[in-house]
Amino acid sequence: MKVARFLLEGKTLIGVLDDSGSVIHPLDDHLSSMTDLIRFSVSGFKFDGKGLQGIPLSEIKLLAPIIPDRNIFCVGKNYFEHAKEFAGSGFEAGAVKGKEIDEYPAIFSKPPTAIVGPDDVVEMHPEATEAVDYEAELAVIIGQSGRNIPESESMRHVWGYTIVNDVTARDRQRNHKQWLAGKGLDTFCPMGPWIVTADEIDGGNLDIECKVNGELRQKANTSDLIFKIPQLIAAISAGLTLRPGDVIATGTPAGVGIGFTPPRFLSSGDRVEITISGIGSLSNSFA
Ligand code: MG
């Protein structure tokens, strides 16, 4: 199922897309939180979106599918070629040649205030950065809560998947050493267009690509992840309870702006479109 959060006549609703992908069926007039739906769902609530009348997608505005209660968990340097391009770019604080691949996943976070939805505008923040970059990523949505989750059981905790653009201010990422300052700016986390439930797709084998103004920049498959989804869930949940609605962005492939010489940072007016097979496309302009 594709489950979306959307705006209709000023009201936020949750709904399920029909098979045509052009009509959405609201679940309940009073349900506006995806986290609540996920909590109900893991407690046994079944839904299929066939209760209320469908509305054409053209008549609603899609919102980011979920605004989690706390920071989004993110993973850095999780595709080989990207780890190399980042280390060689001069923008990785403390980079050591020959040690581009980490023994443990690099975990950081973005605040939920950074999230915007499909087609929303990402601010360039010229007062704070001169080096805005894109990062196409598959994001995992947690269902069943758990702590110290073993890799062998981790996929039972995945409720679904969506797309995230881990927008990054490279100068701030380099200058402040820890990545929150370069990753957490308002609007720096476009997410959507919806969540695809885990029963429908294999998160470990999805094609992912990113275009800037129509030009292909990133192209990979999630099977190329260095630390796979089960390893990430095990690592993040070690001593930390993952909760329904937590979001884990799994890292970006090679082809980001700093992978070019000279770097190709985003400019006002650019449009970035990320497509993941089985999910759809997330497109945002920058201004
Ligand atoms: Mg990233």
pLDDT tens, residue by residue, 47-103 = 988 878 999 999 999 999 999 999 999 999 999 898 889 988 989 888 888 888 889
Instruction: For residues 246 and 121, state if they share a domain.
Output: yes
Number of domains composing the chain: 2
Distance 138 CA to ligand 1 centre (A): 10
Distance 76 CA to ligand 1 centre (A): 5
Distance 164 CA to ligand 1 centre (A): 9
pTM: 0.97
Whether 164 contacts 189, CB under 8 Å: yes
Domain final residue pick, 62, 86, 107: 62
Instruction: For residues 97 and 226, state if they share a domain.
Output: yes
Distance 229 CA to ligand 1 centre (A): 15
Distance 182 CA to ligand 1 centre (A): 11
Inside any domain, residue 158: yes
Instruction: For residues 196 and 253, state if they share a domain.
Output: yes
Owning domain of residue 57: 2-62
Instruction: For residues 14 and 125, state if they share a domain.
Output: no
Instruction: Tell me what pLDDT residue 276 has.
Output: 98
d(CA 182, CA 134): 12
Inside any domain, residue 78: yes
Instruction: Tell me what pLDDT residue 5 has.
Output: 98
Instruction: For residues 220 and 258, state if they share a domain.
Output: yes
Distance 188 CA to ligand 1 centre (A): 11
Q: Which residues surround the ion ligand 1 when the cut-off is CB under 5 Å?
A: 135, 166, 252
The CATH number that applies at residue 93 is: 3.90.850.10
Lowest-pLDDT choice from 98-107, 126-135, 154-163, 253-262: 98-107
Instruction: For residues 115 and 221, state if they share a domain.
Output: yes
Domain final residue pick, 41, 62, 83: 62
CA 194, 137, 95: angle at the middle one, nearest 5? 160
Domain final residue pick, 62, 87, 108: 62
